[in-house]
Amino acid sequence: MFDDQSILVTGGTGSFGHTFIPMLLEKYNPKRVIIFSRDEMKQWEMAKKFQHEERVRFFIGDVRDRDRLYRALDGVDFVVHAAATKIVPTAEYNPFECVKTNVHGAMNLIDACIDKGVKRVVALSTDKASSPINLYGATKLTSDKLFVSGNSYAGAHGTRFAVVRYGNVMGSRGSVIPFFMSIREKGVLPITDERMTRFMISLEEGVELVWHAFEDMEGGEVYVKKIPSMKMTDLARVVAPEARHEIVGIRPGEKLHEQMISPEDSHFTYEYDEHFKILPAINNWGTCEKRIKNGRKVPEGFMYASNTNDEWMSDAQLQAWIDANW
């Protein structure tokens, strides 16, 4: 699908980009891959890893800057939107900045992709966008809605938008496993609440979900990967068996359990072997056979949450991941 095509990744110097780019170059033969981000130091460090790869380009820019996006998207076929203000406490204490990036940035990208004739766009979302209780989740829910509606906004231009949603990405920058690994020698790990659970997904699985969305989408779908859950106390025990757990309380805007599909979403949600698909409630797209394909309608009131998940990650599975990645 991506052979001889141009792909741009916003926020491409983040954890997702560092996994997506090598996987893309290994599986496909794109014409060029453009890393669009605002941090020159991260671009410089990443460029060293691809110094002998002529297909990889770097473009300094911010999704808040509409004009810069127009320049960067010239001749681009596909876009992965990974740029976001993501840290929950940071968003709570800097709400205007979070809105500028996650909401205004999404609007800028949608406009620019339509006007520049981009074929397909996949935006990365988060569990926190489902029944949000914090500003980050609220801005990502808004972003999701914007990308879904972008398919109507595009009109006859042909640009199509979809969203992928997943939970805690194992090993991503700022996530819990690298944090616990960095402090485990101290012998004490902070646990916000001993009941807390989280979905667990690898970066590679996240990339594969994005690829599936590009191939499957008609426009407006939200793809949710089926992934295992784990209690934070169990995760801490695997990372540092001898460490003591210190209960520190939930941070501002933090959830006890993750949710990726709400009961309200169940009316338009379909199940597949390896994922769920939330269809848009607008324009009768929720009953569109091209979007449903071979999906099975979930029961009314269905909810996909980390504490009621059918699949749980075992200690051995987590240890195997740590051994392979650390």
Residue spans per domain, the chain: 6-167+201-226+262-304
Give Cβ neighbours of residue 139 (< 8 Å, ≥ 6 apart): 85, 91, 98, 99, 102, 103
Percent of the chain with pLDDT over 70: 100
Residue 325 has pLDDT above 90, yes or no: no
Structural contact between residues 225 and 274, judged by C-beta atoms closer than 8 angstroms: yes
Residue 253 has pLDDT above 80, yes or no: no
pLDDT, tens digit (0-9, with 9 covering 90-100), for 126-178 = 999 999 999 999 999 999 999 999 999 988 889 999 999 988 888 787 788 98
From the candidates 128, 225, 255, 277, give the one annotated as an active-site residue: 128
Structural contact between residues 6 and 119, judged by C-beta atoms closer than 8 angstroms: no
Query: Which string of b and e fits 262-299 if b means at least 16 CB within 10 Å?
Result: bbebbebbbbbeebbbbbbeeeebbebeebbeebeebe
The pLDDT assigned to 172 comes to: 81
Q: What value does the mean pLDDT take over residues 262-269?
A: 96
pTM: 0.95
Range from 41-55, 78-92, 172-186, 293-307 carrying the lowest mean pLDDT: 172-186
As a whole number, the mean pLDDT across the chain is 94
Element (H, E) at 57: strand 56-60
What is the rounded CA–CA span in Å between residue 87 and residue 89?
A: 6
At residue 216, what is the residue type?
D
The pLDDT assigned to 167 comes to: 80
Q: CATH homologous superfamily of domain 6-167+201-226+262-304?
A: NAD(P)-binding Rossmann-like Domain (3.40.50.720)
What is the rounded CA–CA span in Å between residue 298 and residue 136?
A: 28
Could you confirm whether 255 is annotated as catalytic? no
Percent of the chain with pLDDT over 90: 86
Range from 9-13, 166-170, 199-203, 212-216 carrying the lowest mean pLDDT: 166-170
295 by DSSP, 3-state: which? coil
The pLDDT assigned to 156 comes to: 83
Q: How confident is the model at residue 234 (pLDDT cuts 50, 70, 90)?
A: very high
